[in-house]
Amino acid sequence: MIGALVYFSSASENTARFVAGCRLQDEGLNVYRIPLKAADQPLNVREPYVIMVPTYGGGVVKKAVPIQVKRFLNDRANREWIRGVIASGNTNFGEAYCAAGDIIAAKCHVPFLYKYELMGTPEDTAAVRDGLVRFFTHQ
Ligand SMILES: Cc1cc2nc3c(=O)[nH]c(=O)nc-3n(C[C@H](O)[C@H](O)[C@H](O)COP(=O)(O)O)c2cc1C
């Protein structure tokens, strides 16, 4: 495998649908989902990955990163392997649009690779799939 994508998606599953549409396993990427519920077995990743995160601050930039994603990244062993971030959101939230990507990029010192709205467009799907392959094969 050339790399991995780690993603979070809530019950509305926009991100899960977007990831499924990217068919990343066919391109040689592992795909891992951060669990939704606190009682679920925590995810441990020990290979280079890009994280994909929907923004959940309700318009408040400081609160943009979902708690489940914070828990995953607070684990130092998980954090060691992050290489980039992709964020999604809804432009209705104005300056907090996709703010989870800005926060994770700044805190983890990785590039903010791409942003898209809601479940994305076919152009977003192609850009993410091709971009991830390029990212992992050129580093
Ligand atoms: C309670 C709530 C708060 C949200 N806050 C933001 C926000 O601050 N900024 C933003 O860009 N999008 C925000 N969104 C939009 C989500 O990021 C968007 O709906 C996303 O596609 C959800 O992905 P998911 O279905 O995979 O969980 C919010 C959505 C909800 C339901």
User: Tens digit of pLDDT per residue, the chain (139 long)?
Assistant: 999 999 999 999 999 999 999 999 999 999 999 999 999 999 999 999 999 999 999 999 999 999 999 999 999 999 999 999 999 999 999 999 999 999 999 999 999 999 999 999 999 999 999 999 999 998 6
**82 contact partners, CB below 8 Å, separation of at least 6:** 49, 50, 51, 73, 104, 108, 110
Given 3.10.100.10, 3.30.70.270, 3.20.20.100, 3.40.50.360, which CATH number is that of 3-137?
A: 3.40.50.360
The per-type count for the chain, helices as H runs and strands as E runs, is 5, 5
Q: pTM for the full model?
A: 0.98
- Asked whether the beta carbons of 8 and 37 are under 8 A apart, the reply is no
pLDDT score recorded for residue 85: 99
Residue 118 Cα: closest atom of ligand 1: 21
Using a 6 Å CB cutoff, which residues line ligand 1? Answer: 9-10, 12-16, 54-59, 64, 88-90, 93, 96-99, 118
Total Cβ atoms within 10 A of residue 14: 17
Distance 87 CA to ligand 1 centre (A): 10
CA distance 114 to 128: 8
